[in-house]
Structure 1
Amino acid sequence: MTFYRFSEWTTWFLASFFYAYQYVLRVIPRVLMPDIMQKFQIDAAIFGQFSGFYYLGYVLMHIPLGILLDRVGPKIILPLCIVLTSLGLLPLIYTDFWLYPGLGRILIGMGSSGAILGVFKVIRMNFKEDHFTRMLGISVAIGLLGGIYGGWPIHKLREYLGWEQVLFLLIGIGGVLAVLFFILIPGLKPEARRSERTLFSDVKSVFKNKKLLLICLLGGLMVGPLEGFADVWGSAFLVNYYGFTKETASALPDCIFFGMLIGSPLLSYVADKTKAYYALIILCAFGMAFDFIFLLMGGGTVFTLSLVFWSVGVLCSYQILVIYKATTYVKSNLVGLSTAIANMIIMPFGYVYHTAIGEVMNLFGGGRTLGDIGDYGKDAFAAAIGLIPLGLCVGGFGFILVVLSERKKSYRSV
């Protein structure tokens, strides 16, 4: 029995570590931006597309991987996902044309899609249902530490080893993790499975739910602070807009991930107690918009900006509330599927923000093909990052209209 419990905890930790590992690969372009732009001679617009390809791969495999994890099991699927994420780094090392690293970035996204789904599956396999939320919260916290590690620590490793050696190291870690997974994780137990016809019908039912789609689209407009700024563009902005050192600029956006460590349980607790889900989401939208307006005013110090980014991180946890609220509009037997689809709808906005920021950088920076992102100038950075508070305000006002619409319907029913 003792060995069995050890195996369960080991499996859960490996799944959580994979979630952290893919987070490092997700945010690593933030640190390697100058190296990538210089090697492949690309401008900001192409770099934005390259970074955003992660989300295309993520969305492409979200539902198929969910089905495969149920039918084949994590013992086979998760090691394959880890291998995909690791192999996605190779084009950065061995090719000279940017399209191949773009395809590698898609592979990273495809493999990463299995990380959070794998965590869901492993927790349900190994722990009681009433422990699910607690274990998921710990797993998410471990994953956010991966996002933090992808910033300042990777920057220091890059200075010490060189950026290509850092990529080799990450590939090696992925290979070891895949082998450990295959050896230690148990096979899938026989269980009842839905027919293909029922599965297709359920997917169709969720996609036909207009309220769910609307909420997810509005939530997607609010991902800019995390998926647009913290993931990739934050460090370059701080170096060129504020004049911070690369080391400081690599560390400051990590405060957003630290804030999320607090915000995820805090917002969930407040929402559960107050039931004011929409009010909290709207507060998050305009709170983050205010933070970014302050950021763009250009008067912040390292200390004040660290507080601003902590605030952004706490408010970024709105996604948990959006996904939960979206699932309340479907039948109880579709909650699991609708959660995956809601996440799948929200995540592509990361690609939208990455691409849009890059295009605006080119528009205001003269469309240069550069190895040094700094040559674009402050105006280009201000205009590009200004898209983030704009999206937040549109999303916030959209949720206000949703609330007003629901109140209007409730008055009519009375």
Structure 2
Amino acid sequence: MNTTTLTVEKAHFSLIKSWLVWACAAMFYAYQFLLRVSPNVMTGELMEAFSVDACALGTLTGLYYYGYAALQVPGGTLIDKMGTKKMLALAALFCAGGTLLFSWADSLFIAGIGRLIIGAGSAFGFLSCLKTGTSMFPPQKLPLVIGMTLFLGIVGALVAGTPLVILIDLVGWRQALWILAAFGIGICLLAWFCMNTEPSPELKKYISSHHAPDPEKLGIIEGIVLIIKKPQSWILAFYGMLLYVPLSGFADLWGVPFFIQKYGFSKHDASSAIMVFYAGVALGGPCVSWVVNYFKSYKVSLFLAASIPFVLMSIVFYSPSDFFNYTALLALLLGAGFFLGSQFLIFTVICELNPLSVSSTAGGFLNMMCMISGVVFQPFIGKLLDLSWQGGFVDGVRAYSTADFIFAMSTIPLGLLIGTILVFFIKDAYPKG
């Protein structure tokens, strides 16, 4: 048992309040994850409603990432300066409003504004959980907090699979979005009236003593400069961006149509396959804290997060469609998702490399780079599909062949391979002693 663990065990404070505050923030994170992924199960309906091709649909849904990515650094700074409670309540209200606007849209322009607003509100989801983790938990608990946050987020993604398909079949995609907007309003009220983000004096003293002190009273610009001047910040950012492509480019949008085309799945089975992939990520997130403690290294987990999904997803993309059955495919997706969940350790690393007062800003910078993968790769994969399209239509919508999808999806294993190489340049910030 190491010295750090003994210190935690001898400290006299309770984490019950911390977990309750985290639960409220994580609930919003799950909600915004649901909103982000929801177009994946309504691609046909959206293409028909707005009369668009694959590239235009990718651009429309990708507008979420423009709003999300653009507000990561400002959002992190706002949370650092104004607190989690106010920003979380306002963000939930933004998400609900954007969802209503998207559901009412009768043009691509209005729908795009709705997605942009949803993305802007969602920008505060993970950052709120990260700020709660750094300001209300001992630093040794941060990997577990991030892992559990990811778990709740993936639960939101799972709800955006088969359950959302069933809801859309029952009431229609526009009415389903009305119901989702109501949940956002409920989270706003919960955050405003129930969150208390001030830790106990004992816990606050302990947390402060285990973080690097601020070099001086940092202003907004000074804090941002401090972060972006570090080469490690950029290496972690590019790693995160590449490893987020399987989520943003595949699971969030193009995974369901890919499985329908290549493997001949029904929409229900295809969405279930994506749910299994997300379930793997959800399980891998919390488990990574034990993997880290076993190896006493962040780099080992980050290497596994890139290399094993590279192999497993390559098998899914490039193997013949009759090479294995549905159960075997689900096992491959579960394994790929499980190891991919370790990638979120990069947020622990960047928080360890920066002072506590700019933890949300540092997380915002890193998350911004991760979300750029959605801005770039959702329309880019759609563009690759359009480039290889042979001219076929089904019910007035472009029909893409298996070869088209394999060509477009090749960006995902390529990104994972580059991410594997980047791990060798990441500094291992695992606490020693």
Which residue of structure 2 lines up, in the alignment, with residue 411 of structure 1? none
With over 3 angstroms needed to count, the CA separation of the structure-2 counterparts of 1:15 and 1:395, relative to structure 1, is closer
Which residue of structure 1 lines up, in the alignment, with residue 12 of structure 2? none
Amino acid at match of 2:24: L
Which residue of structure 2 lines up, in the alignment, with residue 350 of structure 1? 374
Amino acid at match of 1:37: M
| Deviation by residue 1:274-324 (Cα, 9 ceiling, x = unmatched) | 244334433332321221221122233210111111111112123223334
Which residue of structure 1 lines up, in the alignment, with residue 124 of structure 2? 114
- Pick from 260, 282, 290 the counterpart of residue 311 of structure 2: 290
Which residue of structure 2 lines up, in the alignment, with residue 409 of structure 1? none
State the secondary structure of the residue aligned to 2:71: helix
Q: Distance in 2 between matches of 1:72 and 1:99?
A: 33
Structure 1 gap segments, 5+ residues each:
407-414
Which residue of structure 1 lines up, in the alignment, with residue 6 of structure 2? none
Scaled by the length of structure 2, what TM-score is found? Answer: 0.82
Displacement after TM superposition at 1:167 (Å):
0.6
Displacement after TM superposition at 1:348 (Å):
0.9
Map 1:263-342; keep pairs closer than 5 Å: 263-296=284-317, 297=319, 298=321, 299-326=323-350, 337-342=361-366
Map 1:5-404; keep pairs closer than 5 Å: 11-122=21-132, 134-186=144-196, 198-296=219-317, 297=319, 298=321, 299-326=323-350, 337-366=361-390, 375-400=399-424, 402=425
Q: Distance in 2 between matches of 1:367 and 1:140?
A: 40
Whether the aligned pair in 1 keeps the contact of 2:30 and 2:152 (CA below 8 Å) is: yes
With over 3 angstroms needed to count, the CA separation of the structure-2 counterparts of 1:225 and 1:134, relative to structure 1, is closer
With over 3 angstroms needed to count, the CA separation of the structure-2 counterparts of 1:187 and 1:318, relative to structure 1, is closer
With over 3 angstroms needed to count, the CA separation of the structure-2 counterparts of 1:183 and 1:369, relative to structure 1, is farther
Whether the aligned pair in 2 keeps the contact of 1:236 and 1:373 (CA below 8 Å) is: no
Q: Distance in 1 between matches of 2:141 and 2:239?
A: 31
With over 3 angstroms needed to count, the CA separation of the structure-2 counterparts of 1:187 and 1:389, relative to structure 1, is closer
Amino acid at match of 1:101: A
Between 241-250 and 330-339, the greater mean CA deviation after superposition:
330-339
Which residue of structure 2 lines up, in the alignment, with residue 412 of structure 1? none
Displacement after TM superposition at 1:124 (Å):
6.2
With over 3 angstroms needed to count, the CA separation of the structure-2 counterparts of 1:384 and 1:153, relative to structure 1, is same
| Deviation by residue 1:66-118 (Cα, 9 ceiling, x = unmatched) | 23233333343222111111122234332232132222212111111111222
Amino acid at match of 1:338: A
Amino acid at match of 1:292: M
State the secondary structure of the residue aligned to 1:88: helix
Q: Distance in 2 between matches of 1:305 and 1:166?
A: 30
With over 3 angstroms needed to count, the CA separation of the structure-2 counterparts of 1:341 and 1:371, relative to structure 1, is farther
Q: Distance in 2 between matches of 1:207 and 1:124?
A: 20
Whether the aligned pair in 1 keeps the contact of 2:131 and 2:359 (CA below 8 Å) is: no
| Deviation by residue 1:30-89 (Cα, 9 ceiling, x = unmatched) | 011111111001111111112222222112112222232333333432221111111222
State the secondary structure of the residue aligned to 2:91: helix
Q: Distance in 2 between matches of 1:24 and 1:333?
A: 30
Displacement after TM superposition at 1:242 (Å):
0.8
Q: Distance in 2 between matches of 1:13 and 1:221?
A: 29
Size of the aligned set, in residue pairs, is 399
| Deviation by residue 1:119-156 (Cα, 9 ceiling, x = unmatched) | 34456676677766555543432222111111111011
| Deviation by residue 1:189-244 (Cα, 9 ceiling, x = unmatched) | 9x99x998633112112112223202321331222212211111111111111110
Q: Distance in 2 between matches of 1:370 and 1:197?
A: 58
Whether the aligned pair in 2 keeps the contact of 1:7 and 1:185 (CA below 8 Å) is: no
Whether the aligned pair in 2 keeps the contact of 1:31 and 1:155 (CA below 8 Å) is: yes
Amino acid at match of 1:270: V
Whether the aligned pair in 2 keeps the contact of 1:39 and 1:371 (CA below 8 Å) is: no
Amino acid at match of 2:413: P
State the secondary structure of the residue aligned to 2:290: helix
Displacement after TM superposition at 1:269 (Å):
2.2
Scaled by the length of structure 1, what TM-score is found? Answer: 0.85
Displacement after TM superposition at 1:336 (Å):
5.2
Whether the aligned pair in 2 keeps the contact of 1:268 and 1:320 (CA below 8 Å) is: no
